[in-house]
Amino acid sequence: MRAKPWPQKGTGRARHKSKFDPQWKGGYKVHGPKGPTSFFYVLPKEKRVEGLCTALTVKLHQNDVHFVDSLDLPTHQPTYLQELAEDRFWGPSILFVDDTDIMPHNIMFASAKTEGLTLMPVYGLNVYSILKHTTLVLTIRALNKIEKKLLHALHSYDNPKDQPAPPDEP
């Protein structure tokens, strides 16, 4: 047990139980450590849609967006995928986007052993991934799904900028 800093009565000073109380220098912390602070937040929907539109537009103007019918490959060898990327000048890092999260087996095995190749479904597409990779390869079905989702988000009435003005009252 720790001793009182001075007697309770007779000194004319305030009563204290311990030198380790929170009001003393070097004393206890009142609520203790809280851990690391999280600064995570979710951007508003209209900002996320605007970012995706901008990122896709920039990639398109840089000729870094390519379209394929499907991601089926004839073999699961990584060298085939690397040669395909070199022949088509796709660059060192490629993001493959398909409309489903179940990818064809051959491209899964070929890209797993090759650095710089990433497979992603449409629902996971984000601005960071688009800008991180030098080339974006979309299937036609993925393109249609992205277009449908972006047009719906841009023209929905959830966006306060697009809502019609209220009628004037007399």
pLDDT digits (tens, 9 = 90+) for 8-43: 999 999 988 888 888 888 888 888 888 898 999 999
- pLDDT the model gives residue 23: 87
CATH of domain 45-155: 3.40.1370.10
Residues 6+ apart with CB under 8 A from 31: none
Answer for the pair 69, 140: CB distance below 8 angstroms, yes or no: yes
CA 56 to chain centre: 16
pTM of the model: 0.71
- Domain range annotation of the chain: 45-155
For 35-70, the pLDDT digits (tens) are 898 999 999 999 999 999 999 999 999 999 999 999
What is the sign of the dihedral through the CA atoms of 89, 91, 93 and 97?
negative
CA 114 to chain centre: 23
Could you give the angle at the alpha carbon of 49 between the alpha carbons of 47 and 54, nearest 5°? 95
Q: Distance between CA 146 and CA 156 in Å, rounded?
A: 15
